[in-house]
Structure 1
Amino acid sequence: MRVRVLLWAGLAAFVIDQLSKYLVVHMLRVADRPGGIDVLPPLLTFRYGENRGINFGLFQGNSEAARWFLIAISLAISIGVFVWLWRTAASRRMLVFGGLLIGGALGNVVDRVLYGYVLDFLNMSCCGINNPFVFNLADVFIFVGALGLVLFEGKKPS
């Protein structure tokens, strides 16, 4: 039963990420729109990005070795989180956060395998600050999942 919560959360994050990328990148063809697509300007804009590094374009690498290294790291972290949560008395909340992290990580792994890079399309700016970075929902799931695991680790299981 406990593992099912982890798997369902991971599957939901993975499917939402991949579906959002397909809709925005392939159906709306955001790459063909140089200025992007204003959704809630300037707060939310769809802008095309190819991320060969990690979050926010850090550690960009164009080599095949860097691509496969990042795939291996993502898979190792996903397996490590899964095994950790499976072996402990993790709360339902921890299992959901772990699933979000794993699903997001696997969503980006699929991009790296299929395209050689991660598809990014979300850009958020506010208050006169023009944010040049783009990200995707997998990045959001990874961040929220990791934050939740840190905040709720060691709390009484629910």
Structure 2
Amino acid sequence: MQRTRRTPLSQTPVASSGDTPDRDPGAQPENAEPADTSSAGSASLTEPSSTEPPLTEASAGESSAESGPGQDEPAGSVPGQRSSLRLPLLFGLLGLLVIGLDQLTKVLALRNLEPGEPVDLVGSLLRLNLIRNPGAAFSLGSDYTPVIAVIQISVAIAVVYLARRLGSTGWTLAFGFLFGGAVGNIIDRIFREPSPFHGHVVDFLQLPHWAIFNVADMAVTTAAILMVVQTLRGIRLDGTREVKATHE
């Protein structure tokens, strides 16, 4: 009987090229132990873990939130910056509008009206009656025209100074009307006859049982009403609201 030659257990039979799939020549056998890379001085075969996590939509949203309106951003591209300029522009434009309308109506009144010759505009409810007022409302303080002028200039300066803190549309409107009305009458005090700081204010609007006034006076009155409304609503200049403590 013919004896067959057995393959030792320690040896792995070599497969034919037709039975074994292609394998990377540098790959290790499946049953081979990993080499001692520390003793060989070679780099580790495992990839080092990244110290920075991958950027996800959540982390991207957080990073964009951190660089929001509170951070320094280019001018003209930040919505918060445009909104921060809205109130100062509203204040300035409203003040200039009141000044322009006041001076225009005074020029028209001087050209078309004569003192002591009132003209009925809306029946007896509203008349055009031209006077020159050296004092304040109701012709009070006629002998203190320079003092009144200094007070009005101080009010205009204070309004401009406090306007930097404006954060409320209501207060911005009030300050715009107040500034325009004060400056409108200041122009009369300084530039009209008889002399600088002694000039008489041009008044020409008359209501029954009320002092004769002008557009600047109307603006100051409107400003006072808006200030009272904002105060009663508990809204401060910066737009915050006063919180009243409740006692149980």
Q: CA RMSD in A?
A: 1.8
Q: List gaps (5 residues or longer) in structure 1.
A: 126-130
SS in 2 for 1:31: coil
SS in 1 for 2:132: strand
Structure 2 CA distance, aligned partners of 1:155 and 1:87?
13
Deviation, 1:19, is 0.7
Deviation, 1:132, is 6.3
Select the residue among 120, 123, 132 that pairs with 2:206: 123
Matches within 5 A, 1:1-158: 1=85, 2-26=87-111, 28=112, 30-31=113-114, 34-61=116-143, 66-89=144-167, 91-115=168-192, 116-125=199-208, 131=209, 133-153=211-231, 154-155=234-235, 157=239
In structure 1, give the amino acid aligned to 2:92.
Answer: L
Q: How many residues align?
A: 145
Structure 2 CA distance, aligned partners of 1:11 and 1:87?
20
Q: Which has the higher helix share?
A: 1
CA distance change for structure 1 residues 96 and 141 in 2, over 3 Å: closer, same or farther? Answer: same
Q: List gaps (5 residues or longer) in structure 2.
A: 1-84, 193-198, 241-248
Deviation, 1:88, is 4.3
Structure 2 CA distance, aligned partners of 1:94 and 1:132?
27
CA deviation string 1:25-71 (max 9, x = no partner)? 22x1x125x3311111200110011111111211222xxxx322211
Greater Cα radius of gyration, structure 1 or 2: 2
The question of whether the paired residues in 1 share the 8 Å contact of 2:98 and 2:216 is answered with yes
Structure 1 CA distance, aligned partners of 2:137 and 2:223?
14
Structure 1 length-normalised TM = 0.83
The question of whether the paired residues in 2 share the 8 Å contact of 1:25 and 1:121 is answered with no
In structure 2, give the amino acid aligned to 1:72.
Answer: V
Which has the higher mean CA deviation after the structures are superposed, 40-49 or 51-60? 51-60
Q: Which has the higher strand share?
A: 1
CA distance change for structure 1 residues 44 and 113 in 2, over 3 Å: closer, same or farther? Answer: same
Structure 2 CA distance, aligned partners of 1:102 and 1:150?
17
Deviation, 1:133, is 2.6
CA distance change for structure 1 residues 10 and 132 in 2, over 3 Å: closer, same or farther? Answer: closer
Q: Highest relative contact order (Cα 8 Å, sep 6+), 1 or 2?
A: 1
Deviation, 1:142, is 0.6
The question of whether the paired residues in 2 share the 8 Å contact of 1:98 and 1:146 is answered with no
CA distance change for structure 1 residues 135 and 15 in 2, over 3 Å: closer, same or farther? Answer: same
CA distance change for structure 1 residues 67 and 59 in 2, over 3 Å: closer, same or farther? Answer: closer
Structure 2 length-normalised TM = 0.55
Which consecutive aligned stretches of 4+ in structure 1 deviate over 6 angstroms post-superposition? none
SS in 2 for 1:134: coil
